[in-house]
Protein backbone atom coordinates (compact mmCIF):
# COMPACT_ATOMS: atom_id res chain seq x y z
CA UNK A 1 0.00 0.00 0.00
CA UNK A 2 0.85 3.68 -0.06
CA UNK A 3 3.42 5.06 2.38
CA UNK A 4 3.86 8.79 2.97
CA UNK A 5 6.85 10.25 4.80
CA UNK A 6 6.82 13.84 6.02
CA UNK A 7 9.70 16.05 7.15
CA UNK A 8 10.48 17.82 9.35
CA UNK A 9 8.39 16.78 12.32
CA UNK A 10 8.85 20.21 13.93
CA UNK A 11 9.70 23.53 12.34
CA UNK A 12 10.19 26.93 13.95
CA UNK A 13 10.46 30.08 11.86
CA UNK A 14 10.51 33.79 12.55
CA UNK A 15 7.43 35.74 11.57
CA UNK A 16 7.78 36.88 7.98
CA UNK A 17 10.12 34.07 6.98
CA UNK A 18 9.17 31.19 4.69
CA UNK A 19 8.42 27.63 5.77
CA UNK A 20 8.82 24.51 3.66
CA UNK A 21 7.46 21.06 4.50
CA UNK A 22 8.34 18.06 2.36
CA UNK A 23 6.62 14.74 1.73
CA UNK A 24 7.53 11.66 -0.25
CA UNK A 25 5.16 8.93 -1.35
CA UNK A 26 5.74 5.37 -2.48
CA UNK A 27 2.88 4.53 -4.85
CA UNK A 28 3.49 5.88 -8.32
CA UNK A 29 -0.25 5.44 -9.00
CA UNK A 30 -1.11 8.18 -6.48
CA UNK A 31 -2.78 11.09 -8.22
CA UNK A 32 -4.13 13.45 -5.56
CA UNK A 33 -2.13 15.25 -2.86
CA UNK A 34 -3.94 17.44 -0.32
CA UNK A 35 -2.47 19.39 2.58
CA UNK A 36 -4.38 19.86 5.82
CA UNK A 37 -3.84 22.31 8.67
CA UNK A 38 -4.90 21.26 12.14
CA UNK A 39 -4.96 23.74 14.99
CA UNK A 40 -4.90 22.44 18.53
CA UNK A 41 -8.17 20.72 19.40
CA UNK A 42 -9.71 21.38 16.00
CA UNK A 43 -10.48 19.47 12.84
CA UNK A 44 -8.00 19.11 9.98
CA UNK A 45 -8.85 21.71 7.34
CA UNK A 46 -7.83 21.52 3.71
CA UNK A 47 -5.56 24.41 2.78
CA UNK A 48 -4.44 23.40 -0.69
CA UNK A 49 -4.34 20.35 -2.92
CA UNK A 50 -2.69 19.32 -6.17
CA UNK A 51 -3.42 16.66 -8.73
CA UNK A 52 -0.84 14.64 -10.61
CA UNK A 53 -1.35 16.47 -13.89
CA UNK A 54 -0.14 19.74 -12.34
CA UNK A 55 3.38 20.64 -11.19
CA UNK A 56 2.63 23.64 -9.00
CA UNK A 57 -0.34 25.40 -7.47
CA UNK A 58 -0.52 28.68 -5.55
CA UNK A 59 -3.09 30.28 -3.30
CA UNK A 60 -1.96 33.61 -1.89
CA UNK A 61 0.88 32.83 0.58
CA UNK A 62 0.61 29.08 0.14
CA UNK A 63 2.00 26.99 -2.69
CA UNK A 64 2.45 23.29 -3.33
CA UNK A 65 4.87 21.70 -5.79
CA UNK A 66 4.80 18.14 -7.09
CA UNK A 67 7.62 16.14 -8.62
CA UNK A 68 6.08 12.93 -9.95
CA UNK A 69 9.40 11.51 -11.10
CA UNK A 70 10.93 11.78 -7.66
CA UNK A 71 7.60 11.08 -5.95
CA UNK A 72 7.73 14.03 -3.65
CA UNK A 73 5.64 17.12 -3.00
CA UNK A 74 6.20 20.16 -0.85
CA UNK A 75 4.22 22.87 0.92
CA UNK A 76 5.61 26.39 0.85
CA UNK A 77 4.29 29.13 3.12
CA UNK A 78 5.66 32.61 2.56
CA UNK A 79 5.50 35.64 4.86
CA UNK A 80 4.54 33.45 7.78
CA UNK A 81 2.29 34.83 10.52
CA UNK A 82 1.68 33.62 14.09
CA UNK A 83 -1.74 32.29 13.04
CA UNK A 84 0.04 29.90 10.68
CA UNK A 85 1.22 27.99 13.76
CA UNK A 86 -0.43 24.56 13.63
CA UNK A 87 0.22 20.95 12.65
CA UNK A 88 0.33 20.41 8.91
CA UNK A 89 -0.39 17.04 7.32
CA UNK A 90 0.32 15.97 3.79
CA UNK A 91 -1.63 13.12 2.24
CA UNK A 92 -1.69 11.04 -0.90
CA UNK A 93 -4.43 9.09 -2.59
CA UNK A 94 -3.80 6.27 -4.97
CA UNK A 95 -5.82 5.72 -8.10
CA UNK A 96 -5.60 2.00 -7.43
CA UNK A 97 -8.14 -0.18 -5.69
CA UNK A 98 -7.47 1.13 -2.16
CA UNK A 99 -8.52 4.73 -2.68
CA UNK A 100 -8.25 6.21 0.78
CA UNK A 101 -6.05 9.06 1.90
CA UNK A 102 -2.73 8.04 3.41
CA UNK A 103 -1.38 10.76 5.69
CA UNK A 104 2.11 11.83 6.60
CA UNK A 105 3.03 11.98 10.28
CA UNK A 106 2.55 15.73 10.52
CA UNK A 107 4.73 18.81 11.01
CA UNK A 108 4.32 21.09 14.01
CA UNK A 109 4.97 24.57 12.64
CA UNK A 110 5.64 27.34 15.13
CA UNK A 111 5.88 30.92 13.92
CA UNK A 112 7.74 33.05 16.42
CA UNK A 113 6.65 36.70 16.69
CA UNK B 1 -24.37 24.96 4.79
CA UNK B 2 -23.66 22.88 7.89
CA UNK B 3 -20.36 21.07 8.06
CA UNK B 4 -19.67 17.50 9.05
CA UNK B 5 -21.24 16.87 12.45
CA UNK B 6 -19.99 14.26 14.87
CA UNK B 7 -21.52 13.14 18.15
CA UNK B 8 -20.66 12.74 20.90
CA UNK B 9 -17.69 15.09 21.04
CA UNK B 10 -16.19 13.61 24.18
CA UNK B 11 -16.73 10.33 25.94
CA UNK B 12 -15.07 8.10 28.50
CA UNK B 13 -15.51 4.35 28.42
CA UNK B 14 -14.18 1.43 30.43
CA UNK B 15 -12.09 -1.39 28.98
CA UNK B 16 -14.30 -4.11 27.58
CA UNK B 17 -17.23 -1.84 26.84
CA UNK B 18 -18.39 -0.92 23.38
CA UNK B 19 -18.98 2.50 21.85
CA UNK B 20 -20.93 3.92 18.93
CA UNK B 21 -19.97 7.18 17.27
CA UNK B 22 -22.18 9.07 14.87
CA UNK B 23 -21.45 11.24 11.86
CA UNK B 24 -23.72 13.41 9.72
CA UNK B 25 -22.02 14.40 6.46
CA UNK B 26 -22.39 17.69 4.65
CA UNK B 27 -25.75 17.84 2.91
CA UNK B 28 -25.49 16.17 -0.49
CA UNK B 29 -22.30 14.28 0.33
CA UNK B 30 -22.65 10.55 -0.13
CA UNK B 31 -19.20 9.34 0.85
CA UNK B 32 -18.26 9.07 4.52
CA UNK B 33 -14.88 7.89 5.73
CA UNK B 34 -13.51 7.43 9.23
CA UNK B 35 -10.01 8.02 10.56
CA UNK B 36 -8.33 7.39 13.89
CA UNK B 37 -5.90 10.03 15.13
CA UNK B 38 -3.41 9.28 17.88
CA UNK B 39 -0.18 11.07 18.86
CA UNK B 40 1.90 8.01 18.08
CA UNK B 41 0.26 6.73 14.89
CA UNK B 42 -1.03 9.93 13.31
CA UNK B 43 -4.09 9.80 11.08
CA UNK B 44 -5.02 6.29 10.06
CA UNK B 45 -7.81 5.25 7.72
CA UNK B 46 -10.50 3.01 9.20
CA UNK B 47 -13.13 2.59 6.48
CA UNK B 48 -15.16 4.38 3.84
CA UNK B 49 -18.84 4.09 3.00
CA UNK B 50 -20.67 5.14 -0.12
CA UNK B 51 -24.36 4.57 -0.76
CA UNK B 52 -24.63 2.37 2.35
CA UNK B 53 -21.81 0.07 1.15
CA UNK B 54 -18.36 -0.25 2.65
CA UNK B 55 -15.97 0.41 -0.22
CA UNK B 56 -12.60 0.47 1.53
CA UNK B 57 -11.29 -0.80 4.83
CA UNK B 58 -8.07 0.02 6.61
CA UNK B 59 -5.87 -2.27 8.63
CA UNK B 60 -7.86 -2.40 11.87
CA UNK B 61 -9.18 -5.44 13.77
CA UNK B 62 -12.73 -6.66 13.37
CA UNK B 63 -13.69 -4.91 16.64
CA UNK B 64 -13.98 -1.78 14.52
CA UNK B 65 -17.06 -1.71 12.35
CA UNK B 66 -19.33 0.79 10.73
CA UNK B 67 -22.39 1.34 8.67
CA UNK B 68 -24.08 3.99 6.59
CA UNK B 69 -27.76 4.76 6.40
CA UNK B 70 -29.88 5.75 3.43
CA UNK B 71 -29.59 9.43 4.39
CA UNK B 72 -25.77 9.08 4.25
CA UNK B 73 -25.38 9.40 8.00
CA UNK B 74 -22.82 6.96 9.32
CA UNK B 75 -21.99 5.25 12.58
CA UNK B 76 -18.88 3.46 13.68
CA UNK B 77 -18.74 0.95 16.49
CA UNK B 78 -15.84 -0.31 18.54
CA UNK B 79 -16.47 -3.40 20.64
CA UNK B 80 -14.44 -4.78 23.54
CA UNK B 81 -12.62 -1.51 24.04
CA UNK B 82 -8.90 -1.54 24.81
CA UNK B 83 -6.78 1.22 26.35
CA UNK B 84 -5.07 1.67 22.99
CA UNK B 85 -8.36 2.65 21.38
CA UNK B 86 -8.16 6.01 23.13
CA UNK B 87 -7.98 8.47 20.27
CA UNK B 88 -9.69 11.18 18.29
CA UNK B 89 -12.04 9.60 15.76
CA UNK B 90 -12.56 11.79 12.74
CA UNK B 91 -15.32 11.47 10.22
CA UNK B 92 -14.90 12.96 6.76
CA UNK B 93 -17.33 13.43 3.91
CA UNK B 94 -17.01 14.14 0.22
CA UNK B 95 -19.42 14.77 -2.61
CA UNK B 96 -19.12 11.40 -4.31
CA UNK B 97 -16.12 9.42 -3.17
CA UNK B 98 -12.45 9.90 -2.32
CA UNK B 99 -11.58 8.18 -5.57
CA UNK B 100 -13.37 10.78 -7.63
CA UNK B 101 -11.05 13.64 -6.76
CA UNK B 102 -13.55 15.53 -4.65
CA UNK B 103 -12.35 17.37 -1.58
CA UNK B 104 -12.65 15.58 1.74
CA UNK B 105 -14.02 17.63 4.67
CA UNK B 106 -13.47 16.60 8.25
CA UNK B 107 -15.74 16.85 11.27
CA UNK B 108 -14.52 18.09 14.66
CA UNK B 109 -14.08 14.52 15.83
CA UNK B 110 -15.09 12.42 18.81
CA UNK B 111 -12.55 12.21 21.60
CA UNK B 112 -12.66 8.73 23.10
CA UNK B 113 -10.86 7.92 26.34
CA UNK B 114 -10.75 4.32 27.48
CA UNK B 115 -9.93 3.80 31.15
Estimate the share of chain B in helix, then strand, then coil, as percent rounded to the nearest 5: 5, 50, 45
Sheet with A56-59: list strands edge to edge.
A4-7, A19-25, A72-77, A62-67, A56-59
CA distance linking residue A39 with residue A109, whole number of Å:
10
Using an 8 Å CB-CB cutoff, list chain B residues near A104.
42
CA distance linking residue B39 with residue B51, whole number of Å:
32
pLDDT of residue A100: 79
Q: How far is CA B73 from CA A61, B27, B53, B92, in A?
A: 36, 10, 12, 11
* Residue B56 pLDDT class (50, 70, 90 cuts): confident
pLDDT above 80 for B102: no
**Greatest Cα pair distance in chain B:** 40
CA distance linking residue B115 with residue A70, whole number of Å:
45
pLDDT of residue A96: 60
pLDDT of residue B101: 63
Closest CB to B42: pick one of A45, A93, A106.
Answer: A106
Closest CB to A43: pick one of B42, B90, B97.
Answer: B90
- Closest residue of chain B to A34, computed from CA coordinates: B103
State the pairing for strand pair A10-14/A107-112: parallel
Q: Splitting chain A (113 residues) into consecutive groups of 10 residues, what average pLDDT does each group show?
A: 93 98 93 93 93 90 96 97 97 73 94 94
Q: How far is CA B49 from CA A62, A113, B28, B92, in A?
A: 32, 44, 14, 10
CB contact under 8 A, B56 and A44: no
CA distance linking residue A11 with residue B96, whole number of Å:
35
pLDDT of residue A23: 98
Q: pLDDT tens digit string along B69-97?
A: 999 999 999 999 999 999 999 999 988 76
Best of A48, A100, A105 to disrupt the B interface (most B CBs within 10 Å) is A100
Amino acid sequence: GENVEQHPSTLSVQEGDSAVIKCTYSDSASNYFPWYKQELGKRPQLIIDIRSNVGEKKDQRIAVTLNKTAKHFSLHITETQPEDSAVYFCAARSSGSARQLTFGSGTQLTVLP
Amino acid sequence: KAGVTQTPRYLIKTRGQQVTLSCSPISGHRSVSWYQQTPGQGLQFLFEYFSETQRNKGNFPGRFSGRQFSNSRSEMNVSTLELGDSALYLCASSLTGPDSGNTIYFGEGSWLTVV
